[in-house]
Amino acid sequence: MSYDFTKIPLDRIERVGQISMLYSDMFTVSWLLGRYCNYKCSYCWAHGRADKPDHRPTELCLYTIDEIKKQARARGFNSFHFSLSGGEPTLHPGYLEILEMLSDDMGNYTSIHMTTNLSRGFKWFGNYVDKAIKFDRASITASLHREYVKDKSVFANKLLFLKRYGIKITINMVMVPQVFDELYDIAKYFYDKGLNVTLKPQSDPHASYIVKGYTDDQLAILHNGMPQSDGPKPTMQVELMDDTGFKWYMDQAERFNAFNFNCFKGWKCSSGYRSIIIREPCGSIKRSYSCIDGPLGNIETGFKLFDEPKECISPSCVSSADSKIPKRKKDSTLELWRMND
């Protein structure tokens, strides 16, 4: 690997952001479609899943998409990224209909992302491909749960099938410290097949900090192991600028937590202005997952975006969906973004 993420002077960083947001008119939506999941992993948080379907009606989801685009465009954003998750999002009965609507109005650019346990069969994913290839970019994070994946080859073949159609793939693995070596061997099986793997540190039930128990060697792997790539070089998705104006890069915001680089209280953040999250079962619409701010509204009753970026008041920002939203340190004179670059 030619890039050492440990060299980034994190204590001197003044601005961070997803590159696609720093240099375009991208508005991002992270949408938790429901907590319903067909898996019951031993390490899953109690609030992270539900045994029974809890999805909002598809018609309401489609209406919400229209309202998101209306408000985003009023603020100058006409490119969109929709990240759909759960629970298990593919169990939403209107999932493919939602994709169809998104592809009917893509603005300047539209990308879609899905986090899935990949339990659906090849037929379902064939129908997914028919919808996904219409977008400017489509990507999947496949969460691998060793308690349910008994045959790695079936899991791999589904992803290789999707990759052949241009779907960007990464496998998400929570690296539980007690079985780290076993999980790393599984991750290497997929990485050696040319599939990107995200080695995700395990966090506490409130997603506030990384659990204890990692050795120095394991932390080193979390810091630099298995960089995302589409070829021989790492693919950088996040830009960090230091106090001299020098630009540094990370392949993905998930790596922030491995460095405990997730405290942005006091920074000016564009979440709530050019990004939102929608979460269940409460249906709240907020600026970010980690934010302690009051909600912007509710999927049932409506919402209103901020009229400008606002200061972060939350003690930590542990979701990668939050960390990658453009933000700058308090009193920094750096631009939050520059759309015309």
pLDDT tens per residue, range 282-325: 999 999 988 899 999 999 999 999 999 999 999 988 788 899 99
* For the chain, percent of residues with pLDDT exceeding 90: 77
Q: What is the pLDDT of residue 206?
A: 63
Question: What is the model's pLDDT at position 209?
Answer: 67
Say if 9 falls within a structural domain: no
Mean of pLDDT values over 31-55: 87
pLDDT of residue 276: 97
> What amino acid occupies position 143?
S
Per-residue buried b or exposed e for 180-199, using 16+ beta carbons within 10 Å of the residue's own CB: beebbebbeebbeeebbbbb
Give me the helix-helix angle, 58-74 and 95-104, nearest 10°. Answer: 30
User: What's the pLDDT at 2?
Assistant: 64
- For residue 75, the tally of other CB atoms under 10 A from its CB is 15
pLDDT recorded at residue 341: 46
User: How distant is the alpha carbon of residue 314 from its chain centre?
Assistant: 19
- What's the whole-number mean pLDDT along residues 14-21? 96
Three-state secondary structure call for residue 269 = strand
6 is a domain residue: no
Closest CA to 91 of 16, 167, 137, 38: 38
At residue 207, the pLDDT reads 60
Domain-located, residue 337: no
Percent of the chain with pLDDT strictly greater than 70 = 96
Report yes or no: 221 and 184 within 8 Å, Cβ to Cβ.
yes
* Number of domains the chain is built from: 1
The answer to whether residue 240 is domain-embedded is no
Distance, in Å, from the CA atom of 35 to the CA atom of 57, rounded to the nearest integer, reads 14
Q: Would you say residue 95 lies in a domain?
A: yes
Q: What is the mean pLDDT of the chain?
A: 92
Domain that holds residue 62: 26-235+271-316
Is residue 243 assigned to a domain? no
Q: Output 173 or 130, whichever has higher pLDDT.
A: 130
Determine, yes or no, domain membership for 114. yes
Q: What is the pLDDT of residues 160-172, one digit of tens each?
A: 999 999 999 999 8
User: In this structure, are residues 183 and 189 in contact, taking their beta carbons and an 8 Å threshold?
Assistant: no
CATH at 90? 3.20.20.70
Q: What is the pLDDT of residues 196-216, one digit of tens each?
A: 999 988 877 666 667 888 999
| Residue 265 forms part of a structural domain | no
Looking at residue 319, its pLDDT comes to: 84
Distance from the first to the final alpha carbon of the chain: 29
